[in-house]
Amino acid sequence: MKRIFTIIVISFLFLSFKPHQKDEAITYTIAFNRDNINTAKVKAEFTPKDSILFMDYGADHLEKRWATFIHNIKAVNGEGKPITMEELPDAKWKIHAPLNEKIVLTYDVHLDHEDYEWDGGIDGVAYATGMGVFYTGRTLFIMNGEYRKNIEVDFQLPQNWQVTTLWSIKSDVASVYRVRDNNDLAKAMIFAGTHKEFSIKRDDFELVFALGSTEIINDEATYRNLAEGVLDYYIALMGGIPRPAPEDPFKKMVVVISSHPSITDGEVIGNNISILIEKDADQFSKTISRFIFAHEFFHLWNGKSFRPAGEDTEWFREGLTNYYTLKALHQVEFLNDESYLDFLSNFFYARYINDPGVGTLSMSKGEEKHEHWGLVYGGGMLAGIAQDMIIRNATNNEKSMDDLMRSLYFKYGNSSDAYTLEELQRSMSVLSGTDQSDFFNSYILGTNKIPIENYLPLAGLNASIENGNLILSKKEQQRPEQQRIMEGLFGALK
């Protein structure tokens, strides 16, 4: 009897600890040192799934890509015996070790990234401030096995340091985070230091801020008010917090803001935003930094709650996001009527009209959006404004682009389905009660320049083009319906 019991227990144990489940686990330990802030010491413990160690894509302009910053890399087996490693091109290494035995990999990451040029800016890479260090996951992690789950990251921090990241903390150990997969590892942003962290919650959604330098912390109230105002505006507009697709769930977004001697820039990776703001920035830089934040934030709805089926609607995803960003900045009183119109004409219209693609390329060529920002982001915005004016004018301001946003949010939120260009055209036609085929064929699918100066007068504005500039002002005498449309243009909700 006793023997049977023993056998049962053993087989039970064997079944519940299947070797392949154990093999999944990988633990990274990252140690920071306040006296040598420019070196992160990383240790990874795992059983290899194959013989290749690799870093994420990117840094293509450097011969060794992300491995440029990796030093003192070595691996040992469970008994501490060295494992032979061979460096391969493109930030990869081959290890000569059995696949069923645990290994310990150690390496240093030197925070020298600011010594190099980066197309997208240092805000999407890694940097140090007087208060700590910022890393993107792709600069920090050497990975193994494509589909690895059960990843943990343990931070060893100097006293008074903290870490801001999107990952959730493992309940029993304060410094250990659980990471869903390699993608969440590589797409992470991490700020570690004595920075200021605060968070804003609405229902199940949390926005976590890391303010990474003194100048930014001095402006904490400004950022907090701006974030709360923009968040509440988007929630009121849409009718709820973001509703992501089941395959890309998120409840949190991280925003890292630091100051920089000469740059104002922003970058989004996964559900993280990184913003650098030039010290002693002029008003334009300040506007741009707030614009970047509010723009990326709106993508949680337009982009992640409702998603385009193809690249031919990038103009809608990016352009309408620009339009709602501008509205949000007006509604939180960062912009007033004059600065709103000024930003619209002197930034967005100027970027549009000076884009060499205007008149030769269709804005539905979403794959051109980085080469032709003015055409896709700027033109898409102007197309959105024109359609909003058409709908508001046709319905005595009863209907607007807001209705289309809400209907897309409710139809596609929490689902894997996506909207199409045909659906947008149909919906806009239904909202204004007029077939919009000519508009779409001419300005969206065609290459004709959008005559925005013909649509803005519907909002009681004087609009003209002089020497390639869009000149805007309020009409002296606005009819009441024009006044209401203008308020809608500025973001007022019904």
Binding site for Zn ion (CB under 5 A): 318
Does residue 430 come out as left (phi exceeding 0), alpha (psi in the -120 to 50 range) or beta? alpha
Choose between 48 and 308: whose C-beta lies nearer to Zn ion. 308
**Residue of 200, 180, 175 lying closest to 137 (CA atoms):** 180
Reduce the DSSP state of residue 427 to 3 states and report it.
helix
Q: Which residues pair with 128 in a beta bridge?
A: 133
Tokens at 427, concatenated: 């919906």
Q: Shortest gap between Cβ of 299 and Zn ion (angstroms)?
A: 5
Element housing 10 (H / E): helix 2-16
CA–CA separation, 40 vs 180, rounded Å?
22
The residue nearest Zn ion at its CB is: 318
Q: Which is nearer to Zn ion, 312 or 318 (CB)?
A: 318
- Cα–Cα distances (Å) from 368 to 88, 372, 373, 375, in that order, read 33, 6, 8, 9
Instruction: Detail the DSSP E strand segments found in 239-371.
Output: 252-260, 265-269, 272-278, 307-308
- Closest contact distance (angstroms) between CB of 304 and Zn ion is 11
Q: CB nearer to Zn ion: give 198 or 373.
A: 373
Tell me the C-alpha distance between 132 and 425, whole Å: 49
Q: Residue 221: is it exposed, middle or buried by C-beta count within 10 angstroms (0-12/13-18/19+)?
A: exposed
Three-state secondary structure call for residue 222: helix
* φ, ψ of residue 163 in degrees (nearest 5): -125, 135
Rounded least distance, CB 321 to Zn ion, Å: 5
d(CA 381, CA 352): 9
The distance of closest approach from Cβ of residue 300 to Zn ion in the complex, given in angstroms and rounded to an integer, is 11
Amino acid at 321: T
Six-digit token string for 320:
């309408």
Q: Which CB sits closer to Zn ion, 303 or 451?
A: 303
- Tokens linked to 33: 């040192």
CA dist 95 and 109 (Å) reads 19
Q: How far is the CB of 314 from Zn ion (least distance, A)?
A: 9
Nearer to Zn ion, 135 or 298 (CB): 298
Decide the pairing of beta strands 418-419 and 307-308: parallel
Q: For residue 26, give the 3-state DSSP assignment.
A: strand
Query: Smaller CB distance to Zn ion: residue 79 or 119?
Result: 119
By beta-carbon proximity to Zn ion, the closer residue of 444 and 459 is 444
Task: Kindly tell me which of 40 and 401 has the beta carbon lying closer to Zn ion.
Answer: 401
Nearer to Zn ion, 95 or 268 (CB): 268
* Length, in residues, of the chain: 494
Buried b (16+ CB within 10 A) or exposed e, 420-452: ebeebbebbbbbbeeebeebbeebbbebeebeb
Q: Which of 252, 257, 177, 167 is nearest to 210 (CA)?
A: 257
Residue 324 or 412: which CB sits closer to Zn ion?
324
Q: Which is nearer to Zn ion, 26 or 329 (CB)?
A: 329
Nearer to Zn ion, 268 or 344 (CB): 268
Comparison of 177 and 315: residue with beta carbon closer to Zn ion: 315
To Zn ion, the closest distance from the beta carbon of 126 in angstroms equals 23
CA distance 293 to 254: 11
Residue 233 tokens, joined: 């505006």
Question: Least distance from C-beta 434 to Zn ion, angstroms?
Answer: 29
Smallest gap from residue 298 Cβ to Zn ion (A)? 8
- Min dist. Cβ of residue 376 to Zn ion (A): 10
In angstroms, what is the minimal distance from the CB of 363 to Zn ion? 15
Shortest distance in whole angstroms from residue 313 CB to Zn ion: 13
CA-to-CA dists, residue 493 to 14, 179, 483, angstroms: 61, 39, 14
The minimum distance between CB 380 and Zn ion, in angstroms, equals 10
Task: Report the nearest approach of Zn ion to the CB of residue 282 (Å).
Answer: 24
